[in-house]
């Protein structure tokens, strides 16, 4: 740590103050793999966001589709000879590349959306459990234990069995499946932080509870929350794809990656691999890049691993 | 230069000559053991004394050839039973370990495998070295447990380690070391983790064994008071080197090396009550960047110009060596 | 020990009861019970008669008690689609799922343990790094997509293995099993491998971490200092210690393997419970859904109990405490 104001006279070159955030950033980029994964993931997000602008065709605009172009191999030209289907077409004559770009949008929105909602709910309940303690804590943590003792797919199936199919039900199922991870993480961290002297000091100053929670406890719970959140986004995307593949998820009119893969299932036995193959690659690259970033975030943010 | 201090007629059980064990870490080469030489005579106890990080434990592991990566023996000889252990094959070493050379570890809570019964852990040691029936091995295990003072050894054989106290576990570990009546036992701080009374019992036990069976012992410790009553010879280690080496009375009564002198001065004692304890200033230097010359010179009150050169190990008094240019000769009543 | 067992059994019964409430509320309160329990083809008069007969006009708690007493007698309703008792359907499909799940678990241990052991013993070697990279992939790969790719490569392109179905079965203990015939085994290879993929990665990671941790233990060094052969040090001293966490986790994962077989069964058209539940959700055959959920919860509870008992057999330290 360099003392910037010591001596008063301005230094020739202002020394960089090492804030925790800057240290975190520089440590993160020390890993080439994680940096690469982050770049890949950023590209994926950009592709998803700008899909309407950069995709060769709008895969949902039936006017643009030509059934004559159905099931063309990768690299084929379309019937009107105006464009190339680099990744082939599906049975509707839909360009797979465009389909994947739009499918990424849906997968990312569903995955990230449910992860954020689950984080808000889970973190609030975890904080409540840690702060209130007693019976509230017991009830919340029993629920968490129950939730975590069931495999994600089973909980999701149960909810979809009760509520029926549909995109909102899938999002709801994902939130139910995921909230417990956040709750457990936040409660664990908050319980440790609560016993620290600075919280006691804040309580002695009679600061309002709300202020203690949001200004003191929550910021300290952020690092583990970020790590769990990253991994959970990947898991949510994978689970959504699985549910959509099983025909329980998104509607056929707006296919996510999982549904694109399912659509190609029946054609695969006749050797038309590309309809399922490329969406799967897109899904795989997305999940792997998020997981690699998450893995490294855990290493960087975990104080126990620091020397 | 060859140490020849224990002037007994029989050849020493173990001769370590110019042993060097280095660790090749990412941060650089760590000379954990640097040019270490000593002898252990038959039935004798050598006290290997030093602070943590002085290389005493690595010396012990080097003799057993149990130094783990990234450590390696890079030079010197370990002469035992007519051969050089530093160059022995892994299979030759395996046959020696637990058989003719045994080792006792520091923390008895960690040395026995928690999921194996005591009898398994004893019998496998015997079966690793000779053809012996399970029943004979069990008999021998029972006798050995009795010998180290474990009550009702028959029942105890069927126990798991967690059913024993720390002192009892260390007795079991000692029993395992004794199964084949080894010629040499390397004991790495075997009493440090134990209560003082248990420590005393175990020390007495070991002393008796060394005397009756003729087993030689290297007793590694940081505690001078332990070796004072137990060892025949003492080697004091500092920063990977032996600073001083000689018979126990010589070293403790008139230390030559300023480090030994400081070490003895910093032990609280009844005779010195009321007087300020001596302290060695500073900290043990990192082995990664030792000062040039004598490694102790930055903390040494007697350091001089000459100390930037490496002092050789020298027999300053008869059968009493030190690695120092300016030894405390006045301690021995000799004018400097 | 018996007190411990009794306590665990009471706990299990309580969890079962709690789950029956959740499933009941899910089916009878959230979903529309008329739609769920009465065939959609029924006319008005039939519906009214059925509602009265099913007691749907009674208060919810009375309905729950009726549901519970039926459930205890093994009656969880009849399937609309098959017109058979739902529980019987589940029973018929269970062997297919169970053999798949056990096959996958067996594969996970068979493949994962040696690879994990190797990676743990030579953590810096190229082989270990390849194994670990593979295990990251195993965690990230979407199961259903890998299943599709397996079919494409081994069934469509190479033609080595059959793509779907159970193949020939043979009877054992009054149930039909695929693993007893050559043809059945050939059908089972790909689904079992597909289902095992995630578990293999898990076993590799657990084993590797266990080996690395155990190798640093004093008792391993002490074992070497006793002059034991490397085979015995690794095979007994290291292996027995890492077996405890691996067995625990793999055992606990058996329940999740059974649940996740839903995906694999859909990909490979494997006629097990998972395929049945997906079909049932798609056609709203809710008695079957209820029967599936209740039986899988029961399986979970049994598995947890068995793993706990097994754990105490393996680890002497636990054994003492539970006595």
Q: How many angstroms separate the CA atoms of A246 and C110, rounded?
A: 29
Q: What is the pLDDT of residue A5?
A: 42
State both tokens at A138.
């017991």
Q: How many angstroms separate the CA atoms of B158 and B155, rounded?
A: 6
Q: How many angstroms separate the CA atoms of A102 and A60, rounded?
A: 9
Chain C, nearest residue to A271 by Cα: C156
Q: What is the pLDDT of residue A18?
A: 63
State both tokens at C62.
């009375």
Contacts of C256 in chain A (CB under 8 A): 151, 153-154
Q: What is the pLDDT of residue C35?
A: 64
Provide the pLDDT confidence category of residue B205 given band limits of 50, 70 and 90: confident
Query: Average pLDDT in the C9-36 region?
Result: 76
Shortest Cα distance, chain C CAs vs residue B43, angstroms: 21
Q: Where on the phi/psi map is residue A196: left (φ > 0), alpha (ψ -120 to 50), or beta?
A: beta
Over pLDDT 90: what percentage of chain C? Answer: 17
Find where tokens 């998450």 sit.
A294
Q: Which of residues 226-265 of C touch A (CB under 8 A)?
A: 255-256, 259-260, 262-263
Closest CA to A75 of A61, A92, A55, A89: A89
Residue C154 has pLDDT above 80, yes or no: yes
Among B123-127, B264-268, B291-295, B299-303, the minimum mean pLDDT is found in B264-268
- DSSP tag of B271: G
Please report, for residues C167, C179, C192, C245, C264, the alpha-carbon distance to residue C183 in angstroms, rounded to integers and kept in the order given: 6, 9, 14, 35, 19
Q: What is the pLDDT of residue B120?
A: 92
State the CB neighbour count (10 A cutoff) for residue B333.
Answer: 7
Q: What is the pLDDT of residue B321?
A: 92
Residue B152 has pLDDT above 60, yes or no: yes
Contact of B227 with B217, CB cutoff 8 Å: no
* Chain segment C24-75, per-residue pLDDT in tens: 777 766 656 566 566 667 677 777 777 776 666 777 788 788 878 888 887 8
Q: How many angstroms separate the CA atoms of A114 and A171, rounded?
A: 6
Shortest Cα distance, chain B CAs vs residue C218, angstroms: 5
State both tokens at C237.
């001293």
Helix (H) or strand (E) holding C172: strand C170-172
Mean pLDDT of chain B: 86
Q: Which residues of B26-35 are buried (b: 16+ CB within 10 A; e: fewer)?
A: eeeebbbbbb
Given an 8 Å threshold on Cβ–Cβ distance, is C225 in contact with B64?
yes
Sign (positive or negative) of CA dihedral B155, B161, B164, B168: positive
Closest CA to A260 of A89, A113, A64: A89
Closest CA to B116 of A127, C71, A17, C232: C232
* Chain segment C182-227, per-residue pLDDT in tens: 777 788 889 999 999 999 999 998 999 889 888 888 899 999 999 8
* Chain segment C269-297, per-residue pLDDT in tens: 888 898 888 888 877 777 788 888 888 88
Chains B and C, touching by 3 or more CB pairs within 8 angstroms: yes
3-state secondary structure of B70: coil
- DSSP tag of C237: I
State both tokens at B326.
């300016």
Residue B166 has pLDDT above 80, yes or no: yes
Which residue from B105, B115, B173 is facing C240, i.e. has the nearest CB? B115
Find where tokens 């599936």 sit.
C292
Which residue from A164, A238, A247 is facing C142, i.e. has the nearest CB? A238
Contacts of C18 in chain A (CB under 8 A): 146
Establish how many alpha carbons lie within 13 A of residue B96's alpha carbon, considering only the half-sphere containing its beta carbon: 24
Q: What is the pLDDT of residue C255?
A: 84
State both tokens at C73.
């007698």
Which residue from C223, C227, C229 is facing B113, i.e. has the nearest CB? C223
- DSSP tag of B178: H
Given an 8 Å threshold on Cβ–Cβ distance, is A161 in contact with C157?
no
Q: What is the pLDDT of residue B138?
A: 93
Q: Is B176 on the interface with C (CB under 8 A)?
A: yes
Residue C80 has pLDDT above 70, yes or no: yes
Q: What is the pLDDT of residue C30?
A: 62
Mutation choice for C interface testing from B91, B109, B115 by most C CBs within 10 A: B115
Residues of chain A whose pLDDT is less than 50?
1-12, 304-307
Residue B21 has pLDDT above 60, yes or no: yes
Q: Is C65 on the interface with A (CB under 8 A)?
A: no
Q: What is the pLDDT of residue C111?
A: 93
Query: Average pLDDT in the B243-260 region?
Result: 91
Residues 6+ apart with CB under 8 A from A272: A71, A88, A264
Of residues C314 and B115, more confidence is placed in: B115
Sign (positive or negative) of CA dihedral B198, B204, B207, B212: negative
């Amino acid at each position: 740590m360099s003392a910037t104001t010591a001596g008063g006279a301005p230094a020739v070159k202002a020394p960089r103050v090492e804030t925790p955030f800057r240290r975190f950033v520089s440590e993160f980029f020390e890993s080439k793999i994680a940096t690469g994964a982050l770049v890949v993931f950023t590209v994926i997000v950009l592709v998803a966001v700008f899909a309407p602008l950069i995709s060769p065709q709008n895969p949902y605009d039936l006017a643009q589709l030509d059934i004559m172009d159905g099931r063309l191999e990768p690299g084929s030209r379309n019937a009107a000879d105006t464009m190339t289907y680099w990744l082939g077409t599906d049975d509707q004559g839909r360009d797979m590349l465009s389909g994947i770009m739009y499918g990424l949008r849906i997968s990312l929105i569903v995955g990230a959306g449910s992860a954020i909602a689950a984080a808000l709910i889970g973190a609030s309940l975890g904080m409540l459990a840690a702060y209130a303690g007693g019976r509230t804590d017991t009830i919340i943590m029993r629920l968490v234990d129950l939730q975590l003792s069931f495999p994600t797919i089973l909980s999701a199936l149960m909810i979809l069995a009760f509520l029926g199919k549909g995109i909102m039900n899938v999002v709801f199922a994902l939130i139910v499946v995921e909230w417990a991870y956040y709750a457990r993480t936040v409660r664990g961290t908050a319980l440790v932080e609560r016993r620290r002297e600075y919280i006691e000091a804040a309580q002695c100053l009679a600061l309002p509870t709300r202020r203690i929670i949001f200004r003191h406890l929550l910021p300290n719970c952020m690092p583990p929350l970020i790590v769990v959140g990253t991994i959970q986004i990947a898991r949510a995307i994978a689970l959504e794809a699985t549910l959509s593949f099983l025909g329980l998820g998104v509607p056929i009119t707006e296919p996510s990656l999982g549904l694109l893969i399912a659509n190609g299932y029946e054609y695969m036995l006749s050797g038309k691999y590309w309809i399922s193959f490329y969406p799967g690659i897109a899904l795989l690259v997305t999940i792997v890049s998020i997981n690699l970033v998450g893995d490294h975030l855990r290493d960087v943010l975990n104080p126990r691993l620091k020397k | 230069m060859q140490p020849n201090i224990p002037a007994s007629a029989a050849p020493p059980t173990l001769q370590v000559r110019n042993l060097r064990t280095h660790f090749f870490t990412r941060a650089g080469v760590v000379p954990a053991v640097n040019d270490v030489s000593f002898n252990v005579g038959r039935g004798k106890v050598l006290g290997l004394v030093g602070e943590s990080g002085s290389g005493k434990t690595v010396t012990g592991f080097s003799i057993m050839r149990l130094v783990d990566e990234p450590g390696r023996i890079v030079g010197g000889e370990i002469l035992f039973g007519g051969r050089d252990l530093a160059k022995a094959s892994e299979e030759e070493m395996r046959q020696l370990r637990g058989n003719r050379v045994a080792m006792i570890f520091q923390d008895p809570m960690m040395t026995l495998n928690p999921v194996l019964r005591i009898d398994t852990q004893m019998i496998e040691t015997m079966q690793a070295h000779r053809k012996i029936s399970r029943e004979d091995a069990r008999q021998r295990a029972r006798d050995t447990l009795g010998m180290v003072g474990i009550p009702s050894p028959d029942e105890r054989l069927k126990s798991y380690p967690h059913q024993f106290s720390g002192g009892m576990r260390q007795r079991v570990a000692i029993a395992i070391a004794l199964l084949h009546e080894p010629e040499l036992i390397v004991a790495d701080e075997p009493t440090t983790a134990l209560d003082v009374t248990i420590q005393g019992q175990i020390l007495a036990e070991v002393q008796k064994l060394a005397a009756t069976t003729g087993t030689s012992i290297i007793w590694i410790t940081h505690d001078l008071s332990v070796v004072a009553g137990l060892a025949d010879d003492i080697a004091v280690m500092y920063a990977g080197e032996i600073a001083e080496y000689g018979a126990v009375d010589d070293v403790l009564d008139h230390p030559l090396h300023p480090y030994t002198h400081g070490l003895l001065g910093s032990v609280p004692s009844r005779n010195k009550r009321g007087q300020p304890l001596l302290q060695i200033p500073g900290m043990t230097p990192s082995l990664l960047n030792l000062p040039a010359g004598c490694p102790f010179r930055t903390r040494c009150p007697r350091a001089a110009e000459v100390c930037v050169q490496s002092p050789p190990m020298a027999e300053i008094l008869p059968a009493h060596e030190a690695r120092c240019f300016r030894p405390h000769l006045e301690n021995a009543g000799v004018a400097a | 020990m018996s007190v411990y067992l009794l306590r665990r059994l009471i706990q299990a019964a309580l969890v079962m009861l709690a789950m029956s409430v959740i499933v009941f509320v899910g089916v009878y309160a959230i979903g529309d019970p008329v739609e769920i329990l009465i065939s959609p083809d029924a006319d008005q008069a039939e519906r009214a008669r059925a509602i009265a007969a099913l007691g749907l006009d009674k208060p919810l708690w009375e309905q729950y008690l009726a549901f519970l007493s039926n459930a205890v007698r093994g009656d969880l309703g009849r399937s609309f689609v098959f017109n058979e008792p739902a529980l019987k359907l589940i029973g018929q499909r269970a062997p297919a799922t169970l053999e798949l799940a056990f096959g996958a678990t067996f594969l996970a241990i068979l493949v994962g343990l040696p690879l994990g052991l190797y990676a743990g013993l030579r953590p810096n070697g190229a082989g270990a790094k390849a194994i670990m990279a593979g295990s990251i992939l195993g965690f990230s790969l979407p199961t259903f997509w890998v299943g599709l790719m397996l079919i494409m490569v081994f069934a469509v392109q190479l033609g080595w293995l059959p793509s779907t179905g159970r193949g020939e079965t043979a009877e054992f203990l009054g149930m039909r099993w695929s693993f007893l015939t050559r043809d059945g085994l050939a059908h089972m290879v790909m689904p079992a491998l597909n289902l095992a993929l995630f578990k293999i990665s898990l076993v590799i990671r657990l084993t590797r971490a266990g080996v690395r941790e155990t190798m640093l233990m004093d008792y391993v060094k002490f074992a070497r200092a006793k002059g034991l052969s490397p085979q015995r040090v690794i095979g007994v001293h290291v292996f027995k210690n890492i077996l405890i966490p691996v067995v625990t986790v793999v055992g606990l994962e058996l329940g999740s393997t059974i649940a996740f077989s839903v995906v694999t069964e859909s990909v490979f058209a494997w006629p097990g419970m998972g395929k049945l539940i997906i079909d049932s959700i798609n056609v709203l055959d809710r008695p079957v859904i209820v029967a599936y959920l209740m039986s899988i919860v029961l399986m979970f509870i049994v598995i947890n109990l068995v793993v706990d008992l097994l754990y105490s057999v393996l680890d002497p330290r636990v054994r003492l405490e539970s006595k």
